[in-house]
Amino acid sequence: MSRSAHPAGPRHADVLPEGHYSAPAADLNELDPKVWAQTVGRDADGVVTVGGVDVKTLAEQHGTPAYVLDEDDFRERARAWRTAFGHDADVFYAGKAFLSRAVVRWLHEEGLNLDVCSGGELATALSAGMPADRIAFHGNNKSVSEITRAIDAGVGRIVLDSFQEIVRVAHIAQSLGKRQRVQIRITVGVEAHTHEFIATAHEDQKFGIPLAGGQAAEAVRRALQLDGLEVIGIHSHIGSQIFDMSGFEVAAHRVVGLLKDIRDEHGVELPEIDLGGGLGIAYTSDDDPREPHEIAKALTEIVTRECDSAKLRTPRISVEPGRAIVGPTAFTLYEVGTIKPLDGLRTYVSVDGGMSDNIRTALYDAEYSVALVSRTSDAEPMLARVVGKHCESGDIVVKDAFLPGDLAPGDLIAVPATGAYCRSMASNYNHVLRPPVVAVKDGESRVIVRRETEEDLLRLDVG
Ligand code: LLP
């Protein structure tokens, strides 16, 4: 992730400190379409607009900080995944990236399915009218009540994550007089090239049942014997923010290998495989993500090739992108507060949010971009660190980035590509209120998740 660092013209430093940053862009006013939502641009006054609404108006109407989500961009990305995979495959949007009722409705309208991993996500999906049979239910520790609700609602599949869960789900399904469609999640032993906390296919971790040592085969053996279960396939999710397709290739090879063993042992060809989500997006101009049609082509080819050589019917493929759909569609809009230049180091730019609205920098050392959005500036670039208002020195939103040297309190800045895992991982740390999600489209903005209020906080605190 690290980059070379020989930028020119910083305001507060003759010698630049160590860091992960590229030289400043030739023009800091330019907005790289790779990291910004599709309808983002600047108006004649240099103010950034999205969905036909300018950020000053958004800040006036909705306050800051706020997540601003480009609805057309979301729908287009969802549709691009749907179209790329065609009718012989299913796209399950991973709700953990960001879920709200408006999003569920957009997904439904665009023909996507939904992956949920908790009772709360399931409730959101059902309350917004997602048909239960288009919902997949995930998780390594689903509770009995969550499983019961999911089966009762008629979810299309439950992804079984352990030996205990195989028995538990079968038992609950039977007691409800149902036969539940299930997939079995396996770990294929791939080391995905991503942050350790978001890699999920190596064996030493909590998700799935290892392929190694015949454990996955044993899980299938047991599941096939249980009346409450209809085993429809095998699931593998290798991790997140992955650019390199080779991990998926190895995973597909090993999953198909298991399908072949199942056919040979049980005479059953399981009809589905799910290759999970995890496709990376551009957080900075240095990231080069793949397009959905390239990913679909690569995955379909791998699975078809592997099945042909194993003489298996090609199963129906499903994928579960979260970040790749919602991530690029939103930015976080902040107002600049205190600015603190530290000579020889960098300038600390404080904003009115922080690690409570974006924990990813602190947790995964994630890199983000940032831009001045309420005006343009021709001032010299300064090396900045965008920090929040929390009582913690690790409260960093953007670790190293260039902003114009004339930045001042009251300016609006925005951090792009915060649609995924920012609002969904937001907290109340320091009793800072979680920001709203504002959707913009055709010159209108509307709140889809409202800002938290002090009354909300106090209502939970029952004294
Ligand atoms: N399917 C399964 C089974 C998953 O566990 C995940 C993500 C996905 C799909 C969606 O992955 P995506 O396409 O969004 O990468 N909080 C971390 C990411 C954790 C992902 C957990 N599982 C982050 O902020 O990077």
CATH classification code of 41-70+328-459: 2.40.37.10
User: Does the structure show a pLDDT above 70 at 193?
Assistant: no
Q: In the annotation, is 422 catalytic?
A: no
Q: Cis omega (within 30 of 0) on the bond before 436?
A: no
Q: Identify whether the C-beta of residue 78 lies closer than 8 Å to the C-beta of residue 106.
A: yes
The average confidence (pLDDT) of the chain is 94
φ, ψ for residue 413 (rounded to 5)? -120, 160
Summarised one tens digit per residue, pLDDT across range 57-79 is 999 999 999 999 999 999 999 99
Q: Choose the weakest-confidence range: 14-23, 70-79, 180-189, 224-233.
A: 14-23
Residue 6 has pLDDT above 50, yes or no: no
Ligand 1 proximal residues by C-beta, below 6 Å:
94, 96-97, 115, 138, 198, 237, 240-241, 276-279, 320-324, 360, 364, 420-421, 425
Judged against a pLDDT cut of 80, whether residue 188 lies above it is answered with yes
Nearest residue to 138 (alpha-carbon basis) of 77, 206, 84? 206
Span 410-433, average pLDDT? 98
Fold category of 72-324 in CATH: TIM Barrel (3.20.20)
Query: Which candidate, 404, 344, 374, places its Cα nearest to that of 54?
Result: 374
Greater confidence (167 vs 13) lies with: 167
pLDDT in tens, 357-414: 999 999 999 999 999 999 999 999 999 999 999 999 999 999 999 999 999 999 999 9
Of all protein residues, the one whose alpha carbon is nearest to atom 23 of ligand 1 is 421
Closest CA to ligand 1's atom 9: 277
Could you tell me the pTM of the whole model?
0.94
Helix or strand holding residue 248 (H, E): helix 246-266
Answer whether residue 50 shows pLDDT above 60: yes
Ligand 1 atom showing the smallest separation from residue 320 Cα: 9
Q: How far is CA 196 from CA 335, 355, 359, in A?
A: 33, 20, 16
- pLDDT at position 22: 74
**What pLDDT does residue 24 have?**
83
Mean pLDDT along residues 320-343: 98
Higher pLDDT, 251 or 191: 251
Tell me: pLDDT of 199 over 70.
no
Q: Domain residues of the chain, as ranges?
A: 41-70+328-459, 72-324
Predicted local confidence at residue 15, as pLDDT: 52
